[in-house]
Amino acid sequence: RAARVFQVLDHTKTITLMLADGLVPSNSGEGYLGRLLIRRALRVMKILGSDIRLKDLVLEQIEFWKEDFPQFLKNKDYILDVVEYEQEKYEETLQKVPSVASALAKKGNITIEDLIKTYDTNGIPPDLIAEELKKKGIDISVPFNFYALVARRHQSAPIKGEKEKAKLTPDVVEFAKKFEPTDKLYYKDQYMRSFNGKVLGVYKNFLILDKTTFYPEGGGQLGDSGIIKTKSGEEYHVIDTQKVSDVVVHVLDKEAKLNVGEEVYGEIDWQRRYRLMRHHTATHVILAAAKKLLGEHVWQAGAEKTPEKARLDITHYKMLTPEEIKKLEDMANYVINDRRPVTAIEMDRMKAEMTFGVSIYEGGVVNKPTIRLLEIKDWDVESCGGTHVSNTSEIGAIKIINVEKIQDGVIRLEYVAGDMVSNYARGIEDKINKVSEDLETSPEQVEIRLKRTLEEMKEIKETLSMYRNWYSSYVESKVIEEKVNGINLKILPEIIDEDIVKDLLRKLTSQGSKTIAVFIGKKTVDIASSKDLKLDELASFLRNKGGKGGGKGTYVSMMLEGKSREEIINDIKEGIERSIH
């Protein structure tokens, strides 16, 4: 017992350390190890017969170690909230033990793989499954290194939708590798729209220039599009921009007939680029706002910026509340209205880490001696190679349009910025106008009209329910009953309401034993029986009589085309006499 007590002490301290460092419990990677440890601590506490909440023990650890580990006190609210949330989830999980164990017992030959799958799917510890199975007379052996086996499978897992796809084929990559780094004009002036460059290489519809203002896809930002013109007036559309190391590759809409050394004119699609810049800077603003609002455990787990909208996946242990979403929006828009400068800085990597910490690597660690940082004054500093506006006011506005939990420990935020906010509002406006048109009222009166319509609908439903009950009772009084081979056969009259048919079939077959109820519709025949009868053989008999369909147990649905109601009833009676004993 003393050993288990020390085990809980050790686990709670480790849990506190992990959460204080920003870990978010989840079903993958290091987050899974955090959840595993929390659940092991809860399991040991259950064995000890303790009714203390785990967060109370963690609070003791925080208070005891706060001088040695200042981050304990700094992240206290987050730590306690996560521990309580995880315990509540674990307690919900324990309620599934009997049903899951029963399913495994039916399967038979329970393997280690079954136990691991059960733990992964339901979070149920194998010793609890073993205890439950023992009650059913089934003994299973749980390997001593079970949790190590489980943890090994969860060392890393990709975020949903984050699989990288190669945009350039191997032959194009090999072609691009031969060239010197491209002079990146988009870093010298992010507002440059056009330029003149020299052709260094052409391969099929792939073009490499000595310099370019076309930004290649990277860091979640799509590559630029635009046009390339020759001096003779021939025009090529740049449909995408990619890169191989430091070489920018322009993807053209057709095979290029250009000569090495030839001068060309390039112009990006500025409206598209500017929307990308706005969405990219907006992403930095929202990420910093999420950290400040939710806690330092928030990290970027994925991001994408398109001209139409942007998304940001953040690490967080539970779904955001409507109040948190509004607060996040308000914080982001405050920074926009505050007109804060946005500055790109190139800095020695070691100096950057010493100055700003490792939080600059939200989009991943950059393996270069010199890194490019993006600083939003008094708000955020982050490593980034994308294009951005020079002041937060240029973002215009931010509207969060969707928030969802895409996997355990990861929340996805989708939002629009700049003129896309207007586009989004216009879409909402169109929907409101359509609804108001359907409700035959003005957009300003939609809410009042909808409320009145819902009240009317409620009254109609109540009235309809009353009439349905009356009609159901009336139909039930018209049911024809007779004995066939010792079976109570009940034949329903014609009914136009499918729900009433189902209700009556259920009601008539639950009132006693040896009962079969039949409804003959226009296309199908529905047959139900009391629990003591099985209709499998009757279904087989009716199929031999030309029926199509089937069923099993206490319900059968058949199509008996080309037969009158009387003929169908006679077939069913014959089937009961021959197949049900």
> Residue 130: its pLDDT value, please?
86
- pLDDT (0 to 100) of residue 155: 54
Assigned domain for 158 exists? no
Of 268, 298, 317, the residue at which a domain comes to its end is: 268
Q: Are residues 128 and 66 in the same domain?
A: yes
Instruction: Tell me, yes or no, whether 163 lies in a domain.
Output: no
Residues 564 and 525 in one domain: yes
Q: What is the DSSP string of 240-255?
A: EEEEETTEEEEEESS-
Final residue before a domain boundary, out of 240, 268, 296: 268
Asked if residue 470 is part of any domain, the answer here is yes
Q: Measured in whole angstroms, how far is the alpha carbon of residue 187 from the centre of its chain?
A: 35
360 and 449 fall within a common domain: no
Range of 210's domain?
Answer: 170-181+193-268
**443 lies in the same domain as 363:** no
> Do 465 and 485 fall within a single domain?
no
> Does residue 159 sit within a domain?
no
CA 91 from centroid of its chain's CA atoms: 24
| Burial tier of 118 (Cβ tally within 10 Å: 0-12, 13-18, 19+) | buried
Task: Give the CA count within 13 Å in the CB-facing half-sphere of 9.
Answer: 8
Which pLDDT does position 163 carry in this prediction?
43
The reply to whether 20 and 33 lie within a common domain is: yes
**Is residue 162 assigned to a domain?**
no
125 and 246, same domain (yes or no): no
- Are 373 and 238 part of one and the same domain? no
**C-beta atoms surrounding 38 within 10 Å:** 26
433 falls within a domain: no
If one counts the domains in the chain, the total is 5
pLDDT of residue 151: 66
pLDDT of residue 160: 45
Residues 444 and 502 reside in one and the same domain: no
The answer to whether residue 161 sits within a structural domain is no
Q: Give me the CATH number covering residue 297.
A: 3.30.980.10
Residue 454 to residue 456: CA distance in whole angstroms: 5
User: Which residues, other chains included, contact 373 with Cβ-Cβ below 8 Å and sequence gap of 6+?
Assistant: 344, 345, 346, 347, 352, 356, 360, 381, 382, 383, 384
Residue whose token pair is 């009132």: 511
Q: Which of 218, 249, 268 is the last residue of a domain?
A: 268
pLDDT computed for residue 78 by the predictor: 93
Spatial CA neighbour of 9 closest among 33, 48, 123: 48
Beta carbons of 25 and 36 less than 8 angstroms apart? no
> Cα–Cα distance between 64 and 185 in angstroms, integer?
56
Which residues of the chain fall short of a pLDDT of 70? 147, 151-166, 581
Q: Does 102 map to a domain? A: yes
Return the pLDDT at 143: 82
Tracing tokens 């007779």 back to the chain, one arrives at 482
Q: State the pairing for strand pair 183-184/211-212.
A: parallel
Say whether both 15 and 149 belong to one domain. yes
Contact (Cβ atoms closer than 8 angstroms) between residue 197 and residue 211: yes
The structure tokens listed for 577 are 């006499």
| DSSP bridge pairs for 266 | 195, 228
327-375 pLDDT tens trace? 999 999 999 999 999 999 999 988 988 888 888 887 777 778 889 999 9
For the record, the structure tokens of 339 come out as 């007109």
Compute the distance between CA of residue 525 and CA of residue 560 in angstroms, rounded to an integer: 7
Residue 102, pLDDT score? 87
User: 294 to each of 34, 320, 328, 551, 573, how far by Cα in Å?
Assistant: 19, 9, 9, 53, 69
Residue at token pair 């600083």: 375
Domain CATH number, residue 259:
2.40.30.130
What's 502's domain CATH number? Answer: 3.10.310.40
> pTM value?
0.74
355 and 290 co-located in one domain: yes
Same domain (yes/no): 517, 535: yes
Helix axes 76-94, 54-65, angle to 10 degrees: 160
**What is the three-class DSSP state of 564?**
coil
Handedness of CA 52, 58, 61, 62 (dihedral sign): negative
Helix (H, G, I), strand (E, B), or coil: what is residue 433?
helix
DSSP E strand boundaries for 468-574? 480-484, 487-491, 515-520, 525-529, 548-552, 555-559
For 389-408, the pLDDT digits (tens) are: 999 999 999 999 999 998 88
* Burial label, 427 (beta-carbon count in 10 A; 0-12, 13-18, 19+): exposed
